Amino acid sequence: MTLIVTADTGGKTMPLSMTIAPPLRSLRTDHFGGMFPGSGLNAAFIAGSLSAFVAHERAGVNLYRVAAEHSENPMLVAKYEEFGRETAEHIAIYEDLITQLGGDPAYVSPAARMTEQLGTKLLEGPVLLAGSVDLLSLETAFLEAVVIAEHNCHDNWQLLSRLGALVPEGPDRQAIRAAVAKVEPEEDRHVAWATDTWFQLAEMNAGHEAAAGAMGVVERTIHKVKDALS
């Protein structure tokens, strides 16, 4: 499993007008002719989509790690760490699937590069403002980022299932079905927990006037601990 694909890890990409890659790291559309031979499918598109899907999972591992580091809520930290481990397993499942389909797990498609940028932007706000907002706002921002990321992740697996239905019956379709069957129940759980927890957090704070004062006490206590340790 690879969390960050670089030239050192064997990463490859498709050269475009503003993307330059050395010959050994360059892939072109005709490279994907070995995937789904004789099916009439657009193998380059499917390979590019798979690359974007796994890029989203890699960004998800980073999101969970950073969210856990910034959270002061033990319940949230435990869930972020649990789901982060499961997301790392999903990366490995994608990489194995891409290999089984005749693709290259080290291929970073143009769609995947865009996905990487979107994942970075999703984290940018809460990370840059972590020292300038109250803890409630920060916890909510990270939880909202998880909700967005998990809905996207869930949709990716559903889309993979639909793409798999276009593949002729045989080992390739069976491999896609097996991967989706293994991961989709976990994705259902991720989406349900993230969405429900986001709702509960908002309802709890909206329904209790004392929450604002309690948040202030928590913030002051944390700052005292930080001052004592600095």
* Res 217: pLDDT: 39
pLDDT at 152 over 80: yes
Q: Which of 27, 34, 32, 36 is nearest to 5 (CA)?
A: 27
CA distance 141 to 84: 17
Of the listed ranges 59-73, 126-140, 196-210, the one predicted with least confidence: 196-210
| CATH of 7-229 given 3.40.1640.10, 1.20.1260.10, 3.40.50.11540, 1.10.540.10 | 1.20.1260.10
* Mode of pairing for the β-strands spanning 12-13 and 107-108: parallel
pLDDT at 193 over 90: yes
The model's pTM: 0.79
pLDDT at 230 over 60: no
pLDDT tens-digit map of 95-144: 999 999 999 898 888 899 999 999 998 888 888 888 778 888 888 999 99
pLDDT at 157 over 50: yes
Residues written for the chain: 230
